[in-house]
Copies of this chain bind each other. A is one copy, B any other.
């Protein structure tokens, strides 16, 4: 019964050895048939997208991540640009490797400019054999930045710094760059001689890199979104510098692309995965997606997918302007580790999730037998099978993506599979997967906070004043919170204990 269902619905991409097993999800053939016209529309719109339609209508942009691994299908003569950038990445990398000067590479970026590179660096890298050792600054936390820079102390001269920002103006990235530039300068080093920019032509970062004659500049294309930029220069440069197989990465993605643009739903793993997401969440995000790869190297995949899926699907309006408040929450780390953390809840507790297991068939590592015929990898796979079974036993849904091993090809394949599934699912629920309008609100509010901080600092005097007095009409609560932060860092003097009794004055020079 389960065996028949397993065989009936197994799909995959045989050229990369990837399979998708959906037999433990709740759906019927009748429902699949009912969804078929919508899936055909999704295929058709996807084909338009790949032909260069302005699929991200709100931003008036094309959506071109599939072209990155198949430049020959790119429209409008974009193919040569893609090929030129890839060639430039390889040439630059070959030069760096040949010179044998650099030992470390520091990436400064956030969101789509960090999550892909971090995932790939950890999934495919090896600290003992990487050609350059990768480091990341992905925040504007001065303490976090200091901790990374401390580890590069004395090695900055041998550290290449790659600054990644599509717009060139991402504050976290700009701030990280400012501190790093300062650190090079404090060592008597010329930052520009060690710096590489990945950004859109003409951005503020691009202009800085040109003006200062940086060591390298690579283009981020307008038609590539941050969360689908791993196979642009954003992801490829770091991977190549680290010594990873970027051709394999592109090849794996290209093979999955070829298989998943094929408009036959039943044999298309991306389409079947999108349908399962729909079935499990009622097309409204009513269940969370738990990503559970049974392989340490895939630990960061769930963080990568959090962005890809939640930023793509978490939308207020549908394409007709109707309020829909869509999305699917994503979390997870790795198995079997997470079995000792939260699988208790998955098995016994609230049924508000479905699991996407990722199974890796080849064990790698030591073949030591723990007892006759039993190795550590048998336990890992046994725990996967056992947990899958235990979840089914309590009517909890799961599906399984299986790959032969974690290498560049399968990593590219996994990324491409989810990219396609996200695009198809977004079409099924009629939303734009390619913009992120909600991110602006927080940034705008933060800008207001920094303006308020400037006003508060200017309004301080030797006389203690209340937040309300200093705020002069702005939010008293926000003023108080900003003043507390300034006081904690010795930048204003505070008297009074409770929020309502607090007063602030200038710090004497």
Chain A interface residues toward B at CB < 8 A: 2-3, 6-7, 10, 14, 110-112, 114-115, 126-128, 138-147, 150-151, 153, 170-172, 174-176, 178-179, 182, 226, 284-285, 288, 294-297, 303, 306-307, 310-311, 313-316, 325-331, 333-337, 339-353, 361-368, 370, 373-383, 385-387, 389-390, 393-394, 402, 404, 406, 436-439, 441-450, 453-454, 457, 475-478, 480-482, 484-485, 488-489, 497-500
A366-B144 Cα distance, complex, nearest whole Å: 10
| Chain B residues, Cβ within 8 Å of A145 | 365-366, 376
New contact pairs (4) apart from A307-B341, A331-B331, A385-B449, CB-CB < 8 Å: A147-B296, A172-B340, A314-B347, A345-B438
Contact across chains for A172 and B379 when beta carbons are under 8 A apart: yes
Contact across chains for B370 and A175 when beta carbons are under 8 A apart: yes
| Chain B residues, Cβ within 8 Å of A447 | 382, 386
| Chain B residues, Cβ within 8 Å of A475 | 2-3
Contact for A144 among B114, B296, B344, CB less than 8 A:
B296
Contact for A10 among B143, B295, B328, B499, CB less than 8 A:
B499
Contact across chains for B349 and A313 when beta carbons are under 8 A apart: yes
| Chain B residues, Cβ within 8 Å of A346 | 314, 438
Nearest Cβ on chain B to A329's Cβ, whole angstroms: 6
| Chain B residues, Cβ within 8 Å of A325 | 348-351
Nearest Cβ on chain B to A365's Cβ, whole angstroms: 3
Nearest Cβ on chain B to A429's Cβ, whole angstroms: 11
Contact across chains for A175 and B498 when beta carbons are under 8 A apart: no
Contact across chains for A498 and B7 when beta carbons are under 8 A apart: yes
Contact across chains for B344 and A436 when beta carbons are under 8 A apart: yes
Number of copies of this kind of chain in the complex: 2
Nearest Cβ on chain B to A40's Cβ, whole angstroms: 26
A478-B342 Cα distance, complex, nearest whole Å: 24
Contact across chains for A382 and B450 when beta carbons are under 8 A apart: yes
Contact across chains for B316 and A182 when beta carbons are under 8 A apart: no
Contact across chains for A361 and B445 when beta carbons are under 8 A apart: no
Nearest Cβ on chain B to A484's Cβ, whole angstroms: 6
Contact across chains for B314 and A146 when beta carbons are under 8 A apart: no
Contact across chains for B350 and A383 when beta carbons are under 8 A apart: no
A443-B382 Cα distance, complex, nearest whole Å: 9
Contact across chains for A150 and B179 when beta carbons are under 8 A apart: no
Contact for A441 among B380, B393, B454, B457, CB less than 8 A:
B393
| Chain B residues, Cβ within 8 Å of A361 | 484-485, 488-489
Contact across chains for B110 and A347 when beta carbons are under 8 A apart: no
- Name the CB-closest residue of B to A498: B7
Interface centre among A114, A365, A500, by most B CB within 10 Å?
A: A365
A260-B174 Cα distance, complex, nearest whole Å: 42
A480-B402 Cα distance, complex, nearest whole Å: 14
A300-B111 Cα distance, complex, nearest whole Å: 18
Contact across chains for B150 and A343 when beta carbons are under 8 A apart: no
Contact for A363 among B437, B481, B489, CB less than 8 A:
B489
Contact for A446 among B138, B171, B172, B383, CB less than 8 A:
B383
6 A-B pairs whose Cβ atoms sit less than 8 Å apart in the complex = A126-B147, A171-B379, A314-B349, A325-B351, A349-B438, A386-B447
Nearest Cβ on chain B to A65's Cβ, whole angstroms: 17
